[in-house]
Chain A
């Protein structure tokens, strides 16, 4: 430790010597203070930065009419209802290719259908991706929308869009008691 010899000159002289004083400083209080400040800064810092999920909406340009119709055999529609339930079917609402199924979100819910149907569509259309239309109803929450988009991210689906729900589809949700 840094310590200076504060004793006077030679041994011989009998001059008045000031009392030998240690140059050690008690740092305990300083350490206390430093840790107190560290604690303060740790607590006030946002440790986990929020993450973001990008969402791309279809262009709503009315002038642009060069949009291609989507083949219904490749289209899966997911309706978001109330009570954290959703309903999905392939094809069109009036004449669905598969009967609408009510399911939950997450790993044990929609994911299996998404993976199975995507594989089916891929096999039937010669390697084309399934198109997923997400239609949130007025009774669904923001969390539902984020979960379903996240689910599509997890299964790696890129052709998806959020579309406004139609009256016929609201009727479907009402029939199954999730509106």
Chain B
């Protein structure tokens, strides 16, 4: 009696659908990706129940940690415009390359007289350099004040919008450092600003 033949099936699986799905997801992630930005110092942001998302444009951030202040501006156009204005203020002229380099820099924390050196470095090394922070201490050498001020002027010129300022502070940062930053902002009538927090569910 002949044995019933089982039809041999191919072990190859049709990958077309899986491939479609994979590329669909890939496209989604590429389009929605905003690469992580490396801060020059490590900060742990305090948790709060606030749920307002940060704005994407017309936005400047002051990063505070280890007693130092760092500054970052959103958007390359605003960055370049601000640097031009800062250059005028401090009697420095920046070349096209330096402006381009600045547009690609995220947070920075160097006094104006060291900014050219920082911009001369290759982009990859910039985040590894130990940065001393932007001077905020005394009333006559408050560069952060001018940075914020010039950014506000630049934002008015570029986008005709009111600049929003946010403070991203380290949880363990002592209050006097923060108070100094707040005073700097208040000196130019910026009385409303945002504190960057991580999300915590409200304990009811």
Chain A interface residues (CB < 8 Å from chain B)? 1-2, 24, 26-28, 30-31, 34-35, 37-38, 41-42, 44-46, 48-61, 80, 106-107, 136-147, 149-150, 153-154, 162
Q: Which residues of B contact A143 (CB under 8 A)?
A: 46, 171-172
Q: How many A-B residue pairs have CB under 8 A?
A: 159
A143 to B182, CA, bound (A): 15
Q: Which one of B75-83, B99-107, B143-151, B187-195 is at the A interface?
A: B187-195
The answer to whether B49 and A52 have CB atoms under 8 Å apart is no
Which of B36, B172, B192 contacts A54 (CB under 8 A)?
A: B192
B174 at the interface (CB under 8 A from A): yes
The answer to whether A52 and B178 have CB atoms under 8 Å apart is no
When C-beta atoms are compared, the residue in chain A nearest to B185 turns out to be A57
Determine the main DSSP class of A at the interface with B: mixed
The answer to whether B26 and A37 have CB atoms under 8 Å apart is yes
The answer to whether A138 and B176 have CB atoms under 8 Å apart is yes
Which of A51, A139, A141 contacts B53 (CB under 8 A)?
A: A51
Q: How far is the CB of B68 from chain A (nearest CB, A)?
A: 13
Q: Which residues of A contact B196 (CB under 8 A)?
A: 50-53
The answer to whether A51 and B179 have CB atoms under 8 Å apart is no
Q: A1-B16, A48-B199, A145-B178 are in contact. Are A53 and B33 (CB under 8 A)?
A: no
Determine the main DSSP class of B at the interface with A: mixed
Q: How far is the CB of B54 from chain A (nearest CB, A)?
A: 5
A143 to B172, CA, bound (A): 6
Q: Which residues of B contact A137 (CB under 8 A)?
A: 175
Q: Which residues of B contact A58 (CB under 8 A)?
A: 191
A59 to B191, CA, bound (A): 7
A142 to B32, CA, bound (A): 32
A63 to B23, CA, bound (A): 63
How many chain B residues touch the partner (CB < 8 A)? Answer: 56
A46 to B56, CA, bound (A): 14
Q: Which residues of A contact B195 (CB under 8 A)?
A: 52-55, 146, 149
A55 to B34, CA, bound (A): 27
Which of B34, B46, B185, B199 contacts A142 (CB under 8 A)?
A: B46
The answer to whether A146 and B176 have CB atoms under 8 Å apart is no
Q: List 18 A-B contacts (CB under 8 A).
A: A1-B16, A31-B15, A31-B18, A41-B30, A45-B29, A46-B36, A50-B198, A51-B197, A54-B194, A55-B195, A60-B187, A142-B178, A146-B171, A146-B195, A147-B48, A149-B48, A150-B49, A150-B197
The answer to whether B194 and A35 have CB atoms under 8 Å apart is no
The answer to whether B175 and A1 have CB atoms under 8 Å apart is no
Q: How far is the CB of B52 from chain A (nearest CB, A)?
A: 5
Q: Which residues of A contact B53 (CB under 8 A)?
A: 49, 51-52
Q: Which residues of B contact A141 (CB under 8 A)?
A: 171-175
Q: Which residues of A contact B185 (CB under 8 A)?
A: 57
Interface centre among A44, A52, A55 (most CB of B within 10 A): A52
